[in-house]
Amino acid sequence: MKEQQTILFDLDGTLIDSTEAILESFDHTFGHFALPTPPAEKITAQIGHPLDGMFLSLGIPEADVWDCVDVYKAYYRQISRAKTILLPEAQQAVQKASEIARLGIVTTKTGKFSIELLEHMNLMHYFEVMVGREDVTHPKPHPEPILTALTKLKTDTKRCWMIGDTCMDMLSAKEAGVTGIAVTSGYGSRSQLLECGCIVTNNALDAVLSIRG
């Protein structure tokens, strides 16, 4: 049965809370370039998008975006493990999911940083594949990240679920032809997620239990 099912997880807002690390890294980056840091709510509203898109949305000129991304990543890597926590019941969700399915991570975070975080949290060994921003040309909501994960797993879209916390996750799942299950533990509101026409649950554990039936 395990080989017949696949569960893919988003990371931020689905399994982990790295809000503190993200906000501090943006503050450091804007300070590095002697720019005022945008309000926290403007930054958190962009979480889930690729970093380059986040900086563009926060007013950084396109010519300067990648310099900002480089500064951000260097600082984030220094602080991320100390300032990132597992969301409530996330560990149980992963453990129970591993009993019924093959697991993967599909995130817009940098994959190598995500691996370091999950190794620090003693969860990486549950996952067979990690698809990060550097692994695709088109990030979520494009279907490419999910399809890339399935290709690496050498499986198809049958009996596959994508668990995430934003409409980008759900749109990516829909376009890839897999079932999306949304969680309200992260950055998307319940009303936004319901508008995506997907299953909506409280957290990753509830999502996994809905798959277990």
Measure the CA–CA gap between 159 and 179, rounded to whole angstroms: 8
Catalytic residue among 10, 165, 169, 206: 10
Catalytic annotation on 27?
A: no
Contact 116, 19 (CB under 8 A): no
Q: How many CA atoms lie within 13 A of 14 on its CB side?
A: 29
Instruction: Decide: 164 and 173 in contact? Cβ < 8 Å.
Output: yes
Residues 181, 133: Cα–Cα separation, whole Å = 21
Count Cα neighbours of 152 within 13 Å in the Cβ-side half-sphere. 20
Residue numbers annotated as active site: 10
